């Protein structure tokens, strides 16, 4: 019955010009109970900031990590306008890539996580600590385009994913600078004070990743890391045709876990904490939930990885406006004397040559040198007397 009604889709986020996958929930199957639950979660929109911080071909796996999370997040409903993707180097069209325009996550080239529809917001040299912190805190120059901004509000759930090379308390950006855990914690506190997030999920896949979330002190942050302090995160498997390791272990098993999630699934965070135990990952993944207000068991995966669309039913009929017609060609009026346009001359040789006036060498005015020497002699003789004249002549 409800299928006959018109669904009026009310998006709480501004519509973007790109194609958006709108998940239309047929509320006919949702009973009154789950309708209440549907509208009771605190957030109204989802954002994702996915950062790969490593440069050079042998760090292929970090780009593949980030792209696999990007792929999952897009598949579960977050549109490109709400994803800030930062890749520090280009692996897909790298000249060393035997299959251009592809980035694989599984060996034997099973899964191309780069795909055909990808929008990278920050790439190459733009991925710096400064740009990352500016994106998080929103302090960007006024001419920055919308696709490069994190326009979140106090009802946004944000997923932040970092991968690269790291150590105890820092993460290396592009082999030339680092971000420390204190800076990151302060950036999140700025975000909290400016009410830029409702809840934040922070995932990091680097060596000694747990050190990066030790210093957080803002509320509503949940953090996951691929290894504890003192442990290295290891990579998964190399591909002999491409010649490098394709993925890191933690993100590989996380991708496998996320492939089973669909937009309406009810899996919660406790399942995500169990991803990649020590037997598979060799390192011990860690997590931190003390700053988070809700119980992790009640937090759905799709609260962070998926996207919320609120749907309102209406029973009214809506009148569409008249179709827009194209103007007919105006007949050319004989009386109107419009000026005739013409194309510019592409290489007007004579005009170019005469563009610059011919440079004449500058000579001082006539007689100037003569007068100057006379003046000098006069002054000399005035000062020292006429008796020196005989030395000259």
Partner 1 sequence: MKLIPKDDFQEELVIRPLHSGDIYASFQFRTLWDTDFMRENKVSHYRLFPKSLGQVISKFSVRELHISFTQGYWRTMQWGQPFIPSPPGAELWVWFQDSVTDVDATWKELTNVLSGIFCASLNFIDSTNTVQPSASFKPLGIGNVTDHSFLRYATLPREIVCTENLTPWKKLLPCGSKAGLAVLLKSEKLFHSSFHSQAVHIRSVCQDWQCKTTSWELRQTVNSVFDLHNSGQAKREWSLFKMFSRTLTEACPLASSSKLYIDITDNPQGEQFELSPATSLLSQAVVLGDRRTFSVYDLTQETTFGSVRSLNLLIRWKSNEGEMLRPLLHAERYVAGYGLQTGEIHTLMYNNHPYRSFPVLLLDSVPWYLRLYIHTLSVTSKGKDNKPSYIHYEPSKDRVKPHLLEMLIQLPPNSVTEVTVQFERALLKWTEYPPDPNHGFYVGSSVISSLVPSTVAMDTNSTRERPLFSSFFPCKEESSYFVRIYTEPLLVNLPTPDFSMPYNVICLTCTVVAVGYGSLYNLLTRSFQIEEPNPGLAKRIANVIRKMRGVPPL
Catalytic residues: 165, 207
Q: What are phi and psi of 87, to 5 degrees?
A: -120, 125
Neighbours of 77 (CB within 10 A): 20
Is 120 a binding residue for partner 1 by CB under 8 A? The answer is yes
Pick from 227, 226, 223, 171: which is nearest to 200 by CA? 223
- Pair type for strands 45-52 and 83-87: parallel
Write each residue from 241 to 280 as x if it is in contact with partner 1 (CB under 8 A), else as -, in one continuous string: ----------------------------------------
Closer to partner 1 by CB, 118 or 282: give it. 118
Write each residue from 330 to 359 as x if it is in contact with partner 1 (CB under 8 A), else as -, in one continuous string: --x-----xxxxxxxxxxxx--xx-xx---
User: Near partner 1 by CB under 8 A, which window of 181-189, 260-268, 326-334, 374-382?
Assistant: 326-334
Closer to partner 1 by CB, 19 or 391: give it. 19
Would you say 79 and 119 are in contact if contact means Cβ atoms under 8 Å apart? no
Q: Quick one: 166 exposed, middle or buried, by C-beta within 10 A (0-12, 13-18, 19+)?
A: buried
Is 320 a binding residue for partner 1 by CB under 8 A? The answer is no
Is 143 a binding residue for partner 1 by CB under 8 A? The answer is yes
Smallest separation (angstroms) from partner 1 to the CB of 340:
6
Restricting to residues 156-185, name those near partner 1 by CB under 8 A. 174-176
Q: Pick from 2, 93, 182, 378: which binds partner 1 (CB under 8 A)?
A: 93
Is 125 a binding residue for partner 1 by CB under 8 A? The answer is yes
**Structure token digits, residue 48:** 């994702």
Pick from 220, 393, 208, 189: which is nearest to 299 by CA? 220
Is 197 a binding residue for partner 1 by CB under 8 A? The answer is no
Would you say 103 and 96 are in contact if contact means Cβ atoms under 8 Å apart? no
Q: List, in sequence order, every residue forming a beta bridge with 179; answer none if it has no partner.
A: 171
User: Near partner 1 by CB under 8 A, which window of 89-97, 153-161, 222-230, 305-313?
Assistant: 89-97
- Pair type for strands 7-9 and 177-180: unpaired
Pick from 42, 51, 234, 267: which is nearest to 160 by CA? 51
Closer to partner 1 by CB, 75 or 288: give it. 75
User: Near partner 1 by CB under 8 A, which window of 7-15, 34-42, 109-117, 381-389?
Assistant: 109-117
* Separation CA 60–CA 72 (nearest Å): 19
Pick from 199, 188, 184: which is nearest to 154 by CA? 199
**Structure token digits, residue 37:** 């639950």
Closer to partner 1 by CB, 122 or 213: give it. 122
Q: Pick from 317, 324, 370, 386: which binds partner 1 (CB under 8 A)?
A: 324
Is 374 a binding residue for partner 1 by CB under 8 A? The answer is no
Q: Pick from 23, 25, 109, 115: which binds partner 1 (CB under 8 A)?
A: 115
Contacts for 378 with CB less than 8 Å, ≥ 6 apart: none
Neighbours of 355 (CB within 10 A): 8
* Separation CA 53–CA 291 (nearest Å): 26
Is 130 a binding residue for partner 1 by CB under 8 A? The answer is no
Smallest separation (angstroms) from partner 1 to the CB of 57:
11
Is 147 a binding residue for partner 1 by CB under 8 A? The answer is yes
Q: Pick from 22, 23, 44, 56: which binds partner 1 (CB under 8 A)?
A: 56
Is 361 a binding residue for partner 1 by CB under 8 A? The answer is no
**DSSP classification of residue 2:** G
Q: List, in sequence order, every residue forming a beta bridge with 123; answer none if it has no partner.
A: 87
Q: Pick from 121, 199, 231, 248: which binds partner 1 (CB under 8 A)?
A: 121
Where do contacts with partner 1 occur on this chain (CB under 8 A)?
Answer: 17-19, 55-56, 90, 92-93, 99-102, 114-121, 123-126, 141, 143-148, 174-176, 322, 324-327, 329, 332, 338-349, 352-353, 355-356
């Amino acid at each position: 019955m409800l299928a006959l009604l018109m669904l009026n889709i009310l998006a709480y986020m501004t519509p973007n010009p790109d194609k958006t996958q709108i998940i239309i929930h047929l509320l006919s199957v949702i009973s009154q109970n789950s309708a209440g639950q549907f509208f009771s979660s605190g957030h109204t929109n989802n954002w994702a900031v996915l950062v790969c911080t490593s440069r050079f071909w042998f760090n292929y796996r970090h780009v593949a990590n980030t792209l696999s999370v990007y792929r999952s997040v897009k598949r579960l409903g977050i549109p490109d306008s709400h994803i800030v993707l930062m890749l520090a180097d280009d692996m897909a069209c790298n000249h060393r890539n035997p299959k251009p325009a592809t980035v694989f996550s599984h060996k034997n080239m099973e899964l191309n996580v780069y795909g055909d529809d990808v929008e990278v917001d920050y790439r190459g040299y733009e991925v710096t600590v400064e740009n990352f912190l500016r994106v998080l805190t929103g302090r960007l120059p006024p001419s920055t385009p919308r696709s490069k901004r994190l326009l979140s509000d106090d009802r946004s759930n944000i997923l932040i994913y970092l991968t690269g090379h790291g150590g105890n308390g820092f993460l290396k950006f592009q082999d030339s600078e680092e971000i420390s855990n204190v800076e990151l914690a302060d950036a999140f506190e700025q975000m909290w004070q400016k009410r830029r997030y409702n809840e934040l999920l922070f995932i990091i896949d680097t060596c000694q990743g747990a050190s990066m979330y030790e210093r957080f002190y803002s509320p509503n942050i949940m953090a996951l890391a691929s290894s504890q302090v003192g442990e290295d995160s290891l990579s998964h498997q190399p591909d002999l045709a491409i010649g490098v390791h394709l993925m890191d272990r933690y993100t590989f098993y996380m991708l496998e876990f996320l492939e089973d999630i669909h937009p309406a699934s009810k899996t919660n965070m406790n399942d995500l904490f169990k991803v990649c135990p020590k037997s598979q990952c060799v390192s011990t993944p860690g997590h931190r939930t003390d700053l988070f207000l809700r119980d992790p068991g009640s937090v759905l995966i799709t609260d962070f990885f998926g996207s919320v669309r609120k749907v309102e039913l209406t029973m009214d009929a809506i009148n569409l406006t008249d179709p827009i017609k194209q103007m007919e060609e105006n007949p050319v009026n004989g009386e109107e004397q419009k000026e005739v346009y013409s194309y510019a001359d592409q290489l007007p040789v004579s005009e170019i040559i005469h563009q610059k006036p011919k440079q004449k060498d500058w000579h001082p005015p006539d007689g100037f040198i003569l007068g100057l020497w006379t003046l000098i002699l006069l002054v000399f003789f005035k000062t020292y007397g006429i008796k020196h004249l005989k030395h000259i002549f």
